[in-house]
Structure formats: structure tokens, C-alpha cells
């Protein structure tokens, strides 16, 4: 068992495009839940909308990359409106029910066999990422951590998008607009009594967080070169909530740090468990079981965090003192 390899693997995992995608989607959840109090349990649905809208439009109509991107964003906006119009006037829990159902409905629709020519059913779609990699400015060669120029390009783009999203969300949340959102999170009737159109603000927040989710879906799917419905199940949303809670709910960098911790813990535990099994120290489980055990350990880590640091890594302890 080589600890340097294990640590290197964890570091590589922290910078992987999947981590960037999780960070971006969790940031969208921070806009929804952390800042506006919108209980969105369908962030996986927003990611699926982004990924499928891009893949379908690229494969069906051969649109250029940038048009595919725009279509994905527009679809996420429409999805947010469909979810928000009937539910945002109601109490927060209704949005939770509708979003979790909508994300599942979406996943079952793309899995439908009748739609195979369009969505590829359970096998999903592939070979739509060409337009993206054609934009790669990095010449072939070896990049840090043994990456190819494709790997490097995906990571640079993914993390630049995360950084830009963080900047925009930070600018928004320090503005009076963000203040109204935080007020809505605390008590929407009080905000209403001060003359603010609560419904419009909630809708705007739902759309912004949803668009971040759709971008995350693209960052998630482009390096894989494939989009499959199984990747967008309900558990994805709960992993995103794990990232959000790990990092701190109403923070900008919390979701990013949370996603990194999430994947680093998964990678480290995998490396250590596999190492122990291969070296014969641990004999009562095999590597397949160890793969499942990692998620149990993530759950334990989240529980420990909630007990000893309930505000998350970056959260403000004072905010919880009155909860």
C-alpha cells in the first residue's frame, strides 16, 4: 500500500471535473436552500436537464457547442418555471415534493424506450463532446499530475466556471437583492409586509440555482463523453446536499470546499480500504463491498460534522446559535 499514491489519488479527485460539477451544483443549492430557503430536492433533475439538452441538441441538430450550451441554459430556466409557478406561492415543503418528483419524472422520461432515438433510453447518449474539445487551446503533451491535454482543458474550464459562478453569486448575495432573499429565508410574510414581491424573488433564485445546476450537468457529462439516466438519480441530489452541509449552507466557498472534501474522503477511504484488502490485513470484506462501505463512511463523516460542527466547515457559528 503506497500512501503517496493514495494521497495523490485524493488530490487528483479533488480537482477532477466531477468535483467541479458537484461544487457548481451544490453552489446552486446554496442559492436555493442556503440563501433563499427553497427546499429543492431535484437538483439532479436540473443537472439532467443541462446534460440532456446539450447532448440531444448537439446530436439531433448538430448545433455548435455554444448554441448547445445556450439551449441547455434555456431548458433549465423553463424547468425552473415549470417547478416554480405552481409551488412558490405555497409553503416550502411543497416545492420539496414537486422537485423530487419532477427530477424522477424526468429521469423516467429519458429512460422510456419509445424515446430511444432521441434520448438513447437507459444506455444514454454518447459522442457529443467533439465540439467542446475542438475548442481546446492546449497542445497535446503531458500536463501536471500526468494529465492529457484533454483532461487539463476539461479541468481548467470546469474550475473557471466554478470560480465565475462563485464570483457572481457572491456579488449577488452582498447586494440588496441578496438581502431580500435572506429575508425571505427568515420570514417571507415579514418581507411581503415591507413591499417586496416575494414570489418574483423566489422565482429568480430558483432560476439562478437551476441554471448553475444545468451548467454542472454539462461539466459532469462532457469529460465522460456520455450521458446516462442512471447518473441523475435521487442519490445525486443527496450527495449535493452532503457537499453543501459539509461546507456550510449560506456560504459561497462552502459548497466548493464541501465537494472537495466529499470526493477526497471517498477517494482516501477507497485507497486505504483497497490497500488493506490487497495487503491481506482486512479479510472480512472484498473490494466490491469496500466500494459501498465508502458511502457509509461519508454518512458517518456527515453525522460527526453535524454533531461537532453543525454550521459546516465555513459556516458562521453565530447563525446557528439562534436556530
Identify the sign of the CA torsion 139, 144, 148, 150: negative
Please tell me whether residue 194 binds other proteins under the rule CB under 8 A: yes
Q: How far is the CB of 267 from other proteins (least distance, A)?
A: 34
- Residues of span 202-241 touching other proteins by CB under 8 A: 204
The only residue of 68, 183, 210, 312 in contact with other proteins, by rule CB under 8 A: 183
3-class DSSP assignment, residue 143: strand
Please tell me whether residue 50 binds other proteins under the rule CB under 8 A: no
Please tell me whether residue 77 binds other proteins under the rule CB under 8 A: no
Q: How far is the CB of 177 from other proteins (least distance, A)?
A: 4
CA distance 268 to 77: 37
Helices (H) and strands (E) in the chain, counts: 16, 2
Using CB under 8 A, which of the segments 4-12, 19-27, 170-178, 274-282 binds other proteins?
Answer: 170-178
Q: Specify whether the CB–CB gap between 23 and 259 falls below 8 A.
A: yes
Q: How far is the CB of 314 from other proteins (least distance, A)?
A: 16
Using CB under 8 A, which of the segments 92-100, 178-186, 237-245, 294-302 binds other proteins?
Answer: 178-186
Q: How far is the CB of 171 from other proteins (least distance, A)?
A: 5
CA distance 258 to 274: 24
Q: Specify whether the CB–CB gap between 25 and 212 falls below 8 A.
A: yes
Q: What is the CA radius of gyration of the chain?
A: 20
Please tell me whether residue 176 binds other proteins under the rule CB under 8 A: yes
Please tell me whether residue 177 binds other proteins under the rule CB under 8 A: yes
Q: How far is the CB of 136 from other proteins (least distance, A)?
A: 30
Phi-psi region of 38 (alpha: psi -120 to 50; beta: other; left: phi over 0): beta
3-class DSSP assignment, residue 252: coil
The only residue of 175, 286, 287, 289 in contact with other proteins, by rule CB under 8 A: 175
Using CB under 8 A, which of the segments 2-10, 66-74, 116-124, 166-174 binds other proteins?
Answer: 166-174
Residue 34 DSSP one-character state: I
Please tell me whether residue 71 binds other proteins under the rule CB under 8 A: no
CA distance 277 to 287: 7
The only residue of 112, 179, 289, 296 in contact with other proteins, by rule CB under 8 A: 179
Residue 98 DSSP one-character state: H
Q: Which is nearer to other proteins, 63 or 168 (CB)?
A: 168
Please tell me whether residue 36 binds other proteins under the rule CB under 8 A: no
CA distance 32 to 59: 32
126: which strand partners? Answer: 226
Residues in the chain: 323
Q: Name the residue among 256, 245, 205, 196 with its Cα closest to residue 32.
A: 205
The only residue of 11, 78, 168, 253 in contact with other proteins, by rule CB under 8 A: 168
Please tell me whether residue 198 binds other proteins under the rule CB under 8 A: yes
CA distance 184 to 173: 13
Using CB under 8 A, which of the segments 100-108, 152-160, 215-223, 314-322 binds other proteins?
Answer: 314-322
Please tell me whether residue 34 binds other proteins under the rule CB under 8 A: no
Interacting residues with other proteins (CB under 8 A): 168, 171-172, 175-180, 182-183, 185-187, 189-198, 204, 318-319, 321-322
Amino acid at each position: 500500500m503506497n500512501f503517496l499514491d493514495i494521497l495523490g489519488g485524493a488530490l487528483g479527485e479533488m480537482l477532477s471535473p466531477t468535483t467541479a460539477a458537484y461544487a457548481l451544483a451544490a453552489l446552486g443549492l446554496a442559492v436555493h436552500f442556503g440563501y433563499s430557503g427553497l427546499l429543492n430536492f431535484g437538483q439532479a433533475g436540473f443537472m439532467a436537464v443541462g446534460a440532456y439538452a446539450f447532448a440531444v441538441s448537439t446530436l439531433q441538430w448538430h448545433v455548435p457547442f455554444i448554441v448547445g450550451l445556450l439551449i441547455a441554459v434555456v431548458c433549465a430556466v423553463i424547468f425552473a418555471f415549470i417547478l416554480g409557478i405552481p409551488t412558490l406561492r405555497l409553503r416550502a415543503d411543497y416545492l420539496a415534493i414537486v422537485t423530487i418528483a419532477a427530477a424522477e419524472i424526468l429521469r423516467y422520461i429519458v429512460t422510456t424506450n419509445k424515446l430511444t432515438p432521441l434520448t438513447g433510453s437507459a444506455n444514454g447518449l454518447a459522442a457529443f463532446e467533439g465540439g467542446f474539445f475542438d475548442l481546446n487551446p492546449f497542445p497535446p503533451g503531458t500536463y501536471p499530475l500526468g494529465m492529457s491535454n484533454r483532461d487539463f482543458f476539461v479541468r481548467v474550464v470546469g474550475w473557471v466556471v466554478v470560480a465565475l459562478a462563485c464570483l457572481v453569486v457572491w456579488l449577488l448575495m452582498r447586494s440588496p437583492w441578496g438581502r431580500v432573499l435572506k429575508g425571505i429565508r427568515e420570514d417571507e410574510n415579514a418581507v411581503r409586509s415591507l413591499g417586496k414581491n416575494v414570489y418574483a424573488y423566489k422565482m429568480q433564485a430558483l432560476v439562478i440555482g437551476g441554471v448553475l445546476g444545468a451548467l454542472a450537468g454539462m461539466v459532469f457529462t462532457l469529460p465522460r463523453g456520455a450521458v446516462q439516466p442512471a447518473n441523475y438519480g435521487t442519490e445525486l441530489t443527496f450527495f449535493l446536499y452532503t457537499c453543501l452541509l459539509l461546507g456550510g449552507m449560506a456560504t459561497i466557498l462552502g459548497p466548493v470546499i464541501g465537494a472537495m472534501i466529499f470526493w477526497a474522503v471517498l477517494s482516501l477511504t477507497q485507497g486505504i480500504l483497497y490497500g488493506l484488502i490487497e495487503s491481506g490485513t482486512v479479510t472480512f470484506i472484498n473490494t466490491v463491498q469496500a466500494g459501498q462501505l465508502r458511502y457509509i463512511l461519508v454518512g458517518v463523516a456527515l453525522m460527526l460534522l453535524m454533531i461537532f460542527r453543525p454550521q459546516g466547515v465555513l459556516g458562521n457559528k453565530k447563525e446557528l446559535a439562534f436556530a
